[in-house]
C-alpha cells in the first residue's frame, strides 16, 4: 500500500485492472450466460463504494484485482487472445468521456445507485433485483450516449432479459472503473508513452 501512495501509476493500474476484469465478465456472461461470482461481486461492489479511501479499497483490496492485473499483463506482453476485450475497453473509455461531461446524467446515475444501496447492503450486490435495477439504470442513461458499447456473444443468452440486465450492470461497473482511472490521472496517452511504467506497476502488484 505504501508503494501505491507514492507511485500514481501503481494506483492507476488498479482502476485499469478493475475495468479489464469487469469487461472480461461481460464477455463471459454474453457467451455463456453465467459469471464468475467472486469477480462479479468485485465489479458490482465497486459501483457502491463511491467514497472509498483508496483505489484498492474500491475493489475490496488488490488481491481481488488479480484476474484483471493478469489480463493486463497478457495484453501488454501481446499474449492476449481475446481481440474483443481491448475494443470493448476502448469503447468504455470513450463512453466515459461523454458521461462525465453530462452533469444531469451523472446525477441521475448517482441517484439510481444510491436508491439500490440499502438492498445491495442487505441482499448483496449480485442479488437479481440489484442486477436488474443497475442494468435498467445503464439502459436508461449510459446506453443512450455515443459511442455505444456493443457486446457480442451467444444470441441464445443475449435474448434473455436477465442476462442482458447482468451485462448492462457489469458495464456500469466498467464505466465506474474508467471514471476512477481518469480521476487518478489516466489517459489514452499512457498506452503509448508510459507503457513501461504500466507494465512495471502491474508486475509490482502481481509478483
Per-residue model confidence as pLDDT tens for the chain (207 residues):
333 345 899 999 999 999 999 999 999 999 999 999 999 999 999 999 999 999 999 999 999 999 999 999 999 998 888 889 999 999 999 999 999 999 999 999 999 999 999 999 999 999 999 999 999 999 999 999 998 999 999 999 999 999 999 999 999 999 999 999 999 999 999 999 999 999 999 999 998
Cell of 83: 481481440
Residues 6+ apart with CB under 8 A from 186: 12, 15, 16
* φ, ψ for residue 79, nearest 5 deg: -105, -5
Domains of the chain, first to last: 2-206 (1.10.3890.10)
CA distance 179 to 60: 17
CB 41 within 8 A of CB 124: yes
CB 59 within 8 A of CB 205: no
Would you state the pLDDT for residue 4? Answer: 38
Would you state the pLDDT for residue 1? Answer: 32
pTM of the model: 0.95
CB 69 within 8 A of CB 205: yes
Would you state the pLDDT for residue 83? Answer: 87
Cell of 7: 507511485
Would you state the pLDDT for residue 35? Answer: 96
CB 80 within 8 A of CB 27: no
Amino acid at each position: 500500500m505504501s508503494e501505491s501512495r507514492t507511485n500514481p501509476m501503481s494506483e492507476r493500474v488498479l482502476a485499469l485492472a478493475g475495468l479489464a476484469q469487469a469487461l472480461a465478465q461481460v464477455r463471459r456472461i454474453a457467451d455463456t450466460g453465467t459469471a464468475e461470482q467472486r469477480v462479479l461481486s468485485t465489479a458490482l461492489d465497486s459501483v457502491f463504494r463511491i467514497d472509498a479511501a483508496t483505489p484498492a479499497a474500491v475493489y475490496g483490496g488488490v488481491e481481488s484485482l488479480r484476474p484483471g492485473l493478469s489480463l493486463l499483463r497478457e495484453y501488454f506482453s501481446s499474449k492476449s487472445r481475446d481481440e474483443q476485450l481491448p475494443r470493448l475497453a476502448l469503447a468504455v473509455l470513450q463512453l466515459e468521456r461523454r458521461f462525465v461531461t453530462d452533469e444531469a446524467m451523472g446525477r441521475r446515475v448517482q441517484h439510481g445507485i444510491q436508491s439500490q444501496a440499502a438492498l445491495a447492503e442487505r441482499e448483496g450486490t449480485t442479488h437479481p433485483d440489484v442486477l436488474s435495477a443497475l442494468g435498467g439504470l445503464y439502459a436508461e442513461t449510459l446506453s443512450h450516449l455515443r459511442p455505444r458499447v456493443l457486446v457480442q456473444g451467444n444470441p441464445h443468452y443475449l435474448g434473455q432479459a436477465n442476462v442482458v440486465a447482468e451485462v448492462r450492470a457489469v458495464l456500469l461497473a466498467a464505466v465506474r472503473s474508467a471514471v476512477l482511472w481518469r480521476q487518478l490521472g489516466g489517459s489514452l496517452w499512457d498506452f503509448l508513452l508510459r507503457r513501461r511504467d504500466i507494465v512495471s506497476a502491474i508486475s509490482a502488484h502481481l509478483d
